[in-house]
Amino acid sequence: MAGIRCHHGQVDELDAGIIRLLQSDARLSNRELARQLGIAPSTCLERVRALARRGVIKGYHAEIDPAALNRGVQAMVAVQVRPLSRAVIDTFKASAAKMPEVLSVFVLSGGDDFLLHVGVPDLDALHAFLLDRLSKRREVTGFRSSLIFQQVSNPAPSRLAQPS
């Protein structure tokens, strides 16, 4: 079996199959996972545990409809901060991650320093977040927001990790 190199070590075709199935449905029982892969449940359980120990599987998550949580308006907000130092980056990253409107924080290279995925009830709430919370932060020197109209996720990104 050919393996896929990742920073967590070798992932063989069986591991990749486990990852692919769990990404499409993390609620699969070990027995059903083993059945779909054509392996013994004990082998499957050991492989899943090994993937978790190695940090390949970091957790299991429920996919939630943001509108159900009153976050029907989502935006990506590119943020520039100054001075550009590790302390400023770490402080902004930690405080942004605690803001209730922020769903994800990405630290970037290039012209923008951060990308915030924001979810709020409506456009007024987005406007208030940008003006009353983000722009009042001393280290923020600029930001740009883009509304998200639709989102499509890759159900099995492990397929992208094939060796070249």
Q: What is the DSSP string of the chain?
A: --EEEETTEEEEHHHHHHHHHHHH-TT--HHHHHHHHTS-HHHHHHHHHHHHHTTSS--------GGGGT--EEEEEEEEESS--HHHHHHHHHHHHHSTTEEEEEE--SS-SEEEEEEESSHHHHHHIIIIIITTSTTEEEEEEEEE------S-GGGGG---
Chain segment 34-58, per-residue pLDDT in tens = 999 999 999 999 999 999 999 999 9
Chain segment 2-21, per-residue pLDDT in tens = 444 555 567 899 999 999 89
Chain segment 24-37, per-residue pLDDT in tens = 889 999 999 999 99
Q: Average model confidence (pLDDT) for the chain?
A: 89
Domains of the chain by start residue, with CATH? 3-61 (1.10.10.10), 66-148 (3.30.70.920)
Res 142 pLDDT > 60: yes
